[in-house]
Structure 1
Amino acid sequence: MSATAQTADNPLSEKQRRILDYLQANADEQTYFKSRLIGDELGLSAKEVGTNMTTIAEGDHNIDVEKWGYSSSTTWMVDA
């Protein structure tokens, strides 16, 4: 299965797909991502990003996402 393939049991929404694509495109250069800054890049609120990151973190997308910190915005550690 490719890194961006949807599974039949848990298809990604358009927002989740956009967030996942953003993370995959930037994970080689960056490890930590703030919800607020992802939202700024994608035209989403930090809350929208945080809500959707949980689904991405729980899925099998060839990328590891872990909630890392909460200072001024949730920080996510991403390993591709």
Structure 2
Amino acid sequence: MSPETAPSDPTPEVRRLPAKAQPLVGYLRSRVREEGAFYVKSRFVAEDLDLSAKEVGAFMRRLQECEEGPAVEAWAYTNGTTWYVSARE
């Protein structure tokens, strides 16, 4: 696991996500830290993390419900869900 995808001290709520979701949380945090808020499709994240787009979408939906970790919002649906990811305020 590269430093970019390694979870950085996950919060208790984020730790309750499946172990397979932890690299996604680290990936999203890293991108938000480096780029600020961004839009992304599940399939592009899946390519970077060696997950399926379906797995990424399911984990993103669960992250939407978390009050900790990166803020995730389903933004649009065109050939797959587009997600808006930002830092929590």
1:14 aligns with 2:19: yes
Equivalence for 1:4: 10
Gaps of 5+ in 2: 1-7
Greater shift after overlay, 33-42 or 13-22? Answer: 13-22
1:36 aligns with 2:43: yes
Greater shift after overlay, 64-73 or 31-40? Answer: 64-73
Give the alignment's TM-score, normalised by structure 2.
0.75
Question: Structure 2 counterpart of 1:68, which letter?
Answer: W
Give the alignment's TM-score, normalised by structure 1.
0.82
Equivalence for 1:76: 83
Aligned structure 1 segments of 4 or more residues deviating by more than 3 angstroms: none
Gaps of 5+ in 1: none
